[in-house]
Amino acid sequence: MLNLSGNNIVRITAGSLPRGLHMLNLSKNQISTIEGLRELTRLRVLDLSYNKIVRIGHGLASCSSLKELYLAGNKISEVEGLHRLLKLNVLDLRANKISTAKCLGQLAANYNSLQAVSLEGNPAQKNVGDDQLKKHLQGLLPHLAYYNRQLIKVGTLKDAADRSVRLGAGAHQFDRSGLRSEHKLTRKGGHGLVSKPSSSSHGRRSQAPVSPKHSKGKHVRLPPSGTKGATHNQQYNLDFSDRLRNMKQELAIRRSRSEGTLGVL
């Protein structure tokens, strides 16, 4: 797991990231082109929200294990370049530039895997209407169960997508049951990442974990839909590091209890 959110990164150099990464957070940077991810064939969760991406392109072609992709708050006008992501369950495209239903046509390539799609804050909401967009997506994606964070179909989700969506999925919130006690949190920065100098510091704000309990018909707790400005970024900023620290601490407590003693990290 690697969190590089909020670092003014403008470009990722090929080979600069660990090949074994499963989860990568590159949100709130200055990235305009998806590149440098070719060797991340094990990547499962990728967050590129709030960058300057205009098109998806072929930068994700080798990420064949990807299950969750977060692209909210960019400038994407057409969905393309996802046809090789045959395991993709969750796609977040909130607050982009998608203006018509036709712009979503290439999602048909993901018909057998996509189960949750968010399009809030796109021009198509006004141009086409939410109901028409939902019907169009349902025609393309027979397994679609969540649209704009709302449950529309019951009983078809695979376990991974179900847990991710219900917990307000993102590179910020990961399934605790999938974390083994021997996993280590690795922070790697600097090498191969080209950044712009920044005069501002990025504060951290922790939040209580979202309850995994889910009741039929409730809205899914994904990060709030996009509005421009600093206020929105603050609302969206779920503290990645603190959540992982809490998970690690909880695992330590569980191990201690299983050994008959209670301890913390």
> pTM, whole model, 2 decimals?
0.64
Residue pair 81/60 in contact (Cβ under 8 Å)? The answer is yes
CB neighbours (10 Å) of residue 228? 10
CA angle 238, 169, 68 (to 5 degrees): 120
Residue scoring higher pLDDT (149 or 259): 149
| Contact residues for 56 (Cβ-Cβ < 8 A; gap 6+) | 34, 71, 76, 79, 80, 81, 82
Task: Give residue 264's pLDDT.
Answer: 38
Residue bearing the bigger pLDDT, 79 or 265: 79
- Mean pLDDT across 163-190: 42
Closest listed residue to residue 160, CA positions, set 92, 222, 72, 68: 68
* Band of pLDDT at residue 121, cut at 50, 70 and 90: very high
Q: Which candidate, 81, 80, 69, 75, places its Cα nearest to that of 114?
A: 69
Domain 1-265: CATH superfamily, name plus number: Ribonuclease Inhibitor (3.80.10.10)
Q: What is the mean pLDDT of residues 1-13?
A: 96
Q: How many percent of the chain have pLDDT more than 90?
A: 56
- Please write the tens of the pLDDT for every residue from 22-81: 999 999 999 999 999 999 999 999 999 999 999 999 999 999 999 999 999 999 999 999
Task: Using pLDDT thresholds of 50, 70 and 90, give the confidence band for residue 169.
Answer: very low
Instruction: Kindly list the domain boundaries of the chain, sorted by start residue.
Output: 1-265
Of 134 and 254, the structure prediction assigns the larger pLDDT to: 134
What's residue 19's pLDDT? 94
Q: What is the mean pLDDT of residues 109-128?
A: 94
Tens digit of each residue's pLDDT (9 = 90 or more) over 187-242: 444 455 666 655 444 444 444 444 444 444 444 344 444 444 444 444 444 445 56
